[in-house]
Chains A and B, each alone.
Chain A
C-alpha cells in the first residue's frame, strides 16, 4: 500500500480496506441516522439521569412530531409507528459497523495507516491529494477514536442486560437517560462532521476525490 506515492497521475491514494470500510460505513451511517430518527420520534424528549418520562422536566424538547398518541407535542397529527423494523435494522447495522470498525482499526494499526496518514505532524501537506492537513487529521481521528466508540458505548449503556453485567457502562454517564442524551448529541456532532467532510471534498474537487475513494487512484493533475 503506497499512500505516499510520487506526484504522478495514477498513483494509489486509498487502500482497498480504507475504501471498502469508508463506503460501508457511509451506508451504515445513513441506515443508523434514518432508523435512529424513527426511534427518537416515538419520544422526542431528552433527559439527564436514570429516568425520563412526561411527568419529568426534560433537558430538551425536540421540535419533532411523534409516532405515539401518548406523547404530547404541538403537532396535530401522530405519525405511523416505525419502531419495530427501525430497531431491528438499527441494531443489525450497529453490529455490521462494529465489524467494519474492527477491520479498519486492525488494518490501520498493522499497516501504520493511523500513524503515517492520520497522526498530525508527519508529512502534513495542505491541499495535497496524498496527505491530510492537521485539522483534517484531528477531525478524522476524533471521529474514529472518540465519536465512534462513544456511540457504541452509549448505545450499550441503554441495554438493560448489558448494564446488568457491566453497571459501570451506564453509571459513568449518570444513568440510562443520560446515555440516551449523549447518544443523541454525539450523533449531532457526527452530522456536523459529515457535513463539513462533504463540503471540504466538494471544495477540493468532488469528482476527483470521490473517484479516488472508489478506485483508490488519483487521476489527472493535482489541484492545490
Chain B
C-alpha cells in the first residue's frame, strides 16, 4: 500500500464516519426541535424531513404573497365538479343552514358551529395564489375566519402540536402543525371573489393554507381536531394524501 492510498483511505474513512455521525446527530436534533414530519417513514423519510426542517428553519412567520385585485383569475378555475356526497347534496339544498363545523380534541370548550355563526367572527380577505400539484394555478380573493381565532374560541391547549381537519368526503382529511394552524393567513373560508364560496370550490367551508400546494386546502370542511399526536388518525402519517404517497408538508 502506497503512502498516497493510505492517506486516501484514512481521509475517506474519517469523512464517512463523520458523515454518518453528522447525519445521526442531525436527525436527533431534528426530532428534538419538532422538525420531523409525520410522514417521515419509509424510503422518502430523508427528503420529507429535509424539506420540512429547512422550510421551518428559514420561513417561520413569513406571509404568503398577496396580489392586487386586477390579478384575480377570471373566470376562476374549478378542479372537477362539486362533490355528490349525499350529506353535502342534502345540506346544499337547504342553503347549508344545517351544516356544522365540529371542533374538538385538546380544547377547553369543544363546540360545533354553524356557517352563520362563523360568518359573525372577525374575518380576513386575502388575494392569494392556489397552485395544484398537477401544475395549474389561479389567483382568487378568499374571505374567512383565521383558524387561530376558532382555536382561541374553543381554548386550544398550549400542548397542542397539530390541527387535523376533515371534509364531508370520507378519507379526505389533512393536518397542519401549529406554525401553519396559528398563521394569520390560514383561514376557514366561506367567501370567494366577493360572493359565497362556490360548491366546486368547497362550499360552505373550506380550509385555505396559502403557504401550501392546493391539496392542503381541504374542501367541504366538517370537523377540526386539536391534538398533540397524529398517531390515532388514519395510518398516523398526518393526511389521507400522505397515505397515497404525497408528502404531508406541502410548502415544498
Contacts and interface: CB of A to CB of B under 8 A. Distances in A.
Interface in B202-216: 210-213
B73 interface: yes
B55 A92 contact: no
B135 A180 contact: yes
Interface string A178-222: 001000000000000000000000000000000000000000000
A74 interface: no
A91 interface: yes
A165 interface: yes
Contacts of A56: 73
Interface stretch (B101-109, B146-154, B241-249): B241-249
A167 B44 CA distance: 28
Q: Which of A43, A54, A70, A162 has the most CB of B within 10 A?
A: A162
Q: Interface majority SS on B: helix, strand, loop or mixed?
A: loop
Nearest to B252: A159
Contacts of B63: 164
Contacts of B48: 88, 92
B247 A161 contact: no
Interface residues of A, number: 40
A176 B213 CA distance: 12
B59 interface: yes
A176 B251 CA distance: 14
Contact of B51 (A39, A84, A91, A170): A91
Contacts of B46: 92, 95
B210 A160 contact: yes
A93 B48 CA distance: 11
B77 A164 contact: no
A87 B71 contact: no
Contact of A164 (B12, B59, B80, B247): B59
B82 interface: no
B64 interface: yes
A46 B156 CA distance: 44
A53 B44 contact: no
Contact of B244 (A68, A84, A93): A84
Nearest to B244: A84
B213 to A, nearest CB: 6
B136 interface: yes
Contacts of A70: 79-80
Contacts of B132: 43
Contacts of B84: none
B113 to A, nearest CB: 28
B129 A176 contact: yes
19 contacts: A42-B135, A43-B134, A43-B136, A50-B71, A51-B137, A55-B75, A55-B77, A83-B246, A84-B241, A89-B44, A92-B46, A92-B50, A93-B47, A160-B64, A160-B251, A161-B211, A161-B212, A161-B252, A164-B59
Interface of B: 8, 12, 44, 46-48, 50-51, 55, 58-59, 62-65, 67, 71, 73, 75, 77, 79-80, 129, 131-139, 210-213, 241, 244-247, 250-252
